[in-house]
Amino acid sequence: MTENLLVAGDFSGIQRYVLNVSASGGGQARRLRARSFFVELAGEVTIWKLLQACDCGGDAVLTSGGGQFLLRVPAKPGKEERLLRIREELETRLFSETRGDLGLSLAWGSSVEDALLGKEIEKRRLWSRTMTSPVGWNLSQLSLEELADVCEICRRQSAALTRDDDGQTVRVCRRCHDDTEIGRRLPQIETVSLDERGGGIVILGASIRLQSSKDRSSGGTSISRPISRHIPLNSSGQPLTFEEIAGKAKGDNLLAVLKADVDDMGLKIGETARQDATLASLKRLSLDLDKFFSRDVQKELTKPPWNSIYTVYSGGDDLLLVGPWDIVLDFSGVVTQAFQEGPGKIYGLTLSAGIALTPYGLPMRHGVDWAEAQLKQSKQQPKNQCSALGGTWDWGRHRQILEQAKQAVRWIESGICGRALIHRLLTLSQSSNPKMAALWAYEVGRNFPSRNDSNPERRQLRAWGEEVLAGLHNGQSAAMQEICVELRYALTATRSRRA
């Protein structure tokens, strides 16, 4: 008999659950942070319950973050029966609390490979135990309850309570009520505790206490840790709405959604586990990555100008941030450089990102879907790229692209060139016209300043136009994608703000 069992867990539907909130008023940001926080705590409660069932301490946790975890527990008699019971309990509670939006795949085996394979099999039959019984389908779970008084926030469950929501009286279900309360209190909360005595907010059957600096611990707490999740605040200490965050952008008051994660993380986990049978290297890798995303990135976000960026989630090996579009573009380069100099250099890892621009009034799930599509584009070979503003580039080009884009903004703002010229150049750059070089030469000759202009900035604009033209003559048409990104940036940064 093997000495240990490897237990692998994976929460499914995280993005759908977190983002399935309304966009009305200031409530969207509040509900996003509450649901993201719920997912994070659900993961910690799950791990805690598994450790309790297996009579283990925190040193049994090998990896944890991003909704996934891997534990190593002693393979004592009766251990698998305990795991089966706790899995059934957790699945039942998750289904009840999230109506199936958030699922858990849990499996175990004698090796990392067996546990991960079992987890993937469980993901393919998610909710199978909840939806079936020994005699067939569980009809009570397959039938939706009739919602006579529907929750006005999620529209998924019956309303049970009435509360004030941005000055409006709304009827809400218990889950949305708790989410709203968590979101309201979270900016002032410094620590979160799992209290076995009860009396806190209930998540998967566990009592969670949210504590500010004014609260005093009164004992009975089994787990307590500080919160590290950046929320932009105004001068009065109140959380900024997405509209207020977008108002800090240059030009068009748009938000940018940044979605990034480590490339080929699954392969790295398997490789690390095979190279070190003690799994100490795997645990160190997980801890270093989670420290980078959940602590180092969050610490950086407390500094201006990054402090206007909102954290939806950041931990494990990925992050999802929302902020003023231009500031997010700059911050993506800062994060990537820090990653390359830290965990990336130590473990030979790379990071890819997708950035989507979106109006603040749209439900955030749309912006995240667009960012997800951009991230997939960045992960086309070669990886280690950024996709935004209609282009994809290697991180080594990031700073140069943004610097040239900001130079174009200065040309427009100083009157050296008009937006109409930038529009024409963008249309030309996006075309597949075989006469592109000739058309670009016409624009340079007719509408760009003279090479001998007395204004050095005007001469700089002319030199840039001629440099692009030389590239077209030399067959460097691929560089036009970067030109398009720079021109789109310049137009967005000089566009009038929307109401």
More confident residue, 413 or 98: 413
Average of pLDDT values for 365-384?
93
Listed in sequence order, the residues at least 6 apart from 336 whose beta carbon sits closer than 8 Å to its beta carbon are 260, 351, 353, 386, 395, 398
Query: How high is the pLDDT of residue 366?
Result: 92
**Domain ranges (residues) in the chain:** 4-142, 249-388, 404-493
Q: Of 7-11, 184-188, 341-345, which gets the smallest average pLDDT? A: 184-188
pLDDT reported for residue 429: 92
Q: Which residue has the higher pLDDT, 481 or 129?
A: 481
Cα separation, 288 vs 205, whole angstroms: 30
Q: What is the residue-averaged pLDDT of the chain?
A: 87
Q: Checking DSSP bridges between strand 61-65 and strand 391-394, what pairing results, if any?
A: unpaired
- pLDDT, mean of residues 400-416: 97
Q: Tell me the pLDDT band of 227, cut-offs 50, 70 and 90.
A: low
Domains 4-142 and 249-388 share a fold: yes
Is the per-residue pLDDT at 144 higher than 60?
no
Average confidence (pLDDT) over 30-52 = 86
Q: Comparing 339 with 479, which gets the higher pLDDT?
A: 339
Task: Supply the pLDDT for residue 75.
Answer: 83
* CATH class given for the domain over 249-388: alpha beta
Predicted confidence at residue 202, as pLDDT, reads 81
Residues 6+ apart with CB under 8 A from 149: 158, 159, 171
Q: In whole angstroms, give the CA distance from residue 482 to residue 429.
A: 10
pLDDT of 7: 94
Give yes or no for residue 406 having a pLDDT over 80. yes
**Mean pLDDT, residues 132-145:** 65
How are beta strands 318-324 and 254-262 bridged, if at all?
antiparallel
Give me the mean pLDDT over the 443-449 stretch.
94
User: What pLDDT does 130 receive?
Assistant: 77
Q: Give the pLDDT band of residue 494 (cuts 50, 70, 90).
A: very high
- For the cut 90, the answer to whether the pLDDT of residue 249 exceeds it is yes
Please report where in the chains the tokens 């105004």 appear, as a residue: 234
Structure-token pair, residue 96:
């009840």
What is the rounded CA–CA span in Å between residue 287 and residue 230? Answer: 20
Q: What is the mean pLDDT of residues 230-255?
A: 91
Of residues 491 and 234, the one with the higher pLDDT is 491
| pLDDT for res 253 | 96
For 4-142, which CATH class? alpha beta
Cis peptide before 382 (omega within 30 of 0): yes
Q: What was the pLDDT predicted at 215?
A: 60
Question: Quick one: pLDDT band at residue 139, thresholds 50, 70, 90?
Answer: low
136-140, 278-282, 372-376: which has the highest mean pLDDT? 372-376
Q: Is the pLDDT of residue 308 over 70?
A: yes
The pLDDT value recorded for residue 19 is: 81
Cα 65 to Cα 286: distance, rounded to the nearest angstrom: 8
- Give per-residue pLDDT as tens, 455-471: 999 999 999 999 999 98
DSSP 8-state class, residue 479: G
Kindly tell me if the per-residue pLDDT of 143 is higher than 70: no
* pLDDT of the residue at 25: 45
Matching residue, tokens 């907010």: 201
Least confident of 60-69, 107-116, 156-165: 156-165
